[in-house]
Amino acid sequence: MANANPAFDPSGPIAIVTDMLPRSQVATDVGNGGAPTLRGLHAALGSAFRKRGGVWLGWPGTGAEPSVVRGAPYRAEVVELDGLDTERWHCGFSAGSLWPLLHSMPGHLGFHRADWLAYDEVNARFAARAAGVLPDVETVWFHGHQLLRAPHHLREVCPGARIHFFLHTPFPPLDVFETLAHGEDLLHSLAACDLIGFQTGRHVRNFLDCAAAVGGIEALPEWRILLSEHGESRVGVFPMGIDWARYEDAAEAAPRVARSPERTIFAVDRLAPTTGVPERLRAFDLLLERHPRWREKVSLLQVVASAADACDDHAELKSEVDGLVGRVNGRFGTAGWLPVRYMTHDLPHEELCALYRDADIGLATPLRDGMNLVSKEFVACQVDEPGVLVLSRTAGAAETMHEAVLVNPYDTEATADALDAALSIEPDERRIRMSALRARERASDAAHWADHFLASAAGLPHHRIQ
d(CA 121, CA 266): 42
**Alpha carbon 293 to chain centroid distance?**
36
d(CA 403, CA 433): 5
The pLDDT assigned to 229 comes to: 85
The pLDDT assigned to 35 comes to: 40
d(CA 462, CA 4): 5
The pLDDT assigned to 70 comes to: 61
Answer for the pair 384, 413: CB distance below 8 angstroms, yes or no: no
d(CA 445, CA 43): 11
d(CA 54, CA 75): 6
User: Nearest to residue 447, comparing CAs of 44, 35, 23, 157?
Assistant: 44
Answer for the pair 214, 371: CB distance below 8 angstroms, yes or no: no
d(CA 170, CA 200): 8
Query: Checking phi first, is residue 407 left (phi over 0); if not, alpha (psi -120 to 50) or beta?
Result: beta
Give, in words, the CATH class of 244-443: alpha beta
Answer for the pair 56, 461: CB distance below 8 angstroms, yes or no: no
List phi, psi (to 5°) of 227.
-120, 115
d(CA 178, CA 52): 39
Residuewise pLDDT in 10s, the chain (466 residues): 334 445 667 778 999 999 999 865 444 333 333 344 456 678 788 888 888 899 999 999 876 665 545 678 899 999 999 999 999 999 999 999 999 999 999 998 999 999 999 999 999 999 999 999 998 998 999 999 999 999 999 999 999 999 999 999 999 999 999 999 999 999 999 999 999 999 999 999 999 999 999 989 999 988 888 888 888 999 999 999 999 999 999 999 999 988 889 999 999 999 999 999 999 999 999 999 999 999 999 999 999 987 655 677 789 999 999 999 999 999 999 999 999 999 999 999 999 999 999 999 999 999 999 999 999 999 999 999 999 999 999 999 999 999 999 999 999 999 999 999 999 999 999 999 999 999 999 999 999 999 999 999 998 876 555 5
Cβ contacts of 222 within 8 Å, gap of 6 or more? none
The pLDDT assigned to 52 comes to: 87
User: Nearest to residue 17, comparing CAs of 159, 130, 99, 177?
Assistant: 130
Please, is 13 exposed, middle or buried when counting C-beta atoms within 10 Å of its C-beta (0-12, 13-18, 19+)? middle
The pLDDT assigned to 38 comes to: 56
Q: Where in the chain is the domain with CATH 3.40.50.2000?
A: 6-241+447-465, 244-443
CATH number of 6-241+447-465: 3.40.50.2000
The pLDDT assigned to 308 comes to: 57
Task: Indicate yes or no: pTM above 0.95.
Answer: no
The pLDDT assigned to 28 comes to: 38
